[in-house]
Amino acid sequence: MLEVGLKKMDMGKINVEKQIFYKHKDSPWTWKDIKDIPFQDDDIINLNYVESHYSENNSWDGHYHGEIIRMVKETDQQYERRIAKTEADKARSKKNRYENYLNLKKEFENE
């Protein structure tokens, strides 16, 4: 549960991205490359060309990049991790606000 104002709000499971296809190749994408994928209506399809890049320590040839993303409900583990992170962020934020309050109080108490 996350406290918002004076009431508590249940943070239910949310949709997260799941990569269902990922591939690099040297030739352009054709239908035969993706026709066997069981698409759903809301799948996100990214097919593009990545320009070549040459440098002293990090180079790559130009290539075609393909990726298909599907939005799915988060797993129980992802949900628990997200809630724990939210609670930790909330506690850290409260601690920082309190420290700022004490510093401001100290700075302005003699005025």
39-74: per-residue pLDDT in tens? 999 999 999 999 999 988 888 899 999 999 999 999
Same domain flag for 55 and 97: no
Strand order in the sheet with 44-50: 15-25, 63-73, 44-50
Q: Which single residue is written with the structure tokens 């990049």?
A: 65
Same domain flag for 89 and 107: yes
Residues 6+ apart with CB under 8 A from 38: none
Could you tell me if residue 3 is inside a domain? Answer: no
Domain around 29: 15-73
Same domain flag for 48 and 84: no
Same domain flag for 19 and 59: yes
Same domain flag for 36 and 51: yes
3-class secondary structure, 34: helix
What are 98-111's pLDDT values in tens digits?
A: 999 999 999 888 77
3-class secondary structure, 107: helix
- Structural domains in the chain (count): 2
What are 2-11's pLDDT values in tens digits?
A: 444 434 445 6
CB atoms within 10 A of CB 101: 10
β-pair partners for 51:
none
Residues 6+ apart with CB under 8 A from 63: 24, 25, 26, 49, 50
Same domain flag for 46 and 92: no
| Cβ–Cβ under 8 Å, residues 64 and 47 | yes
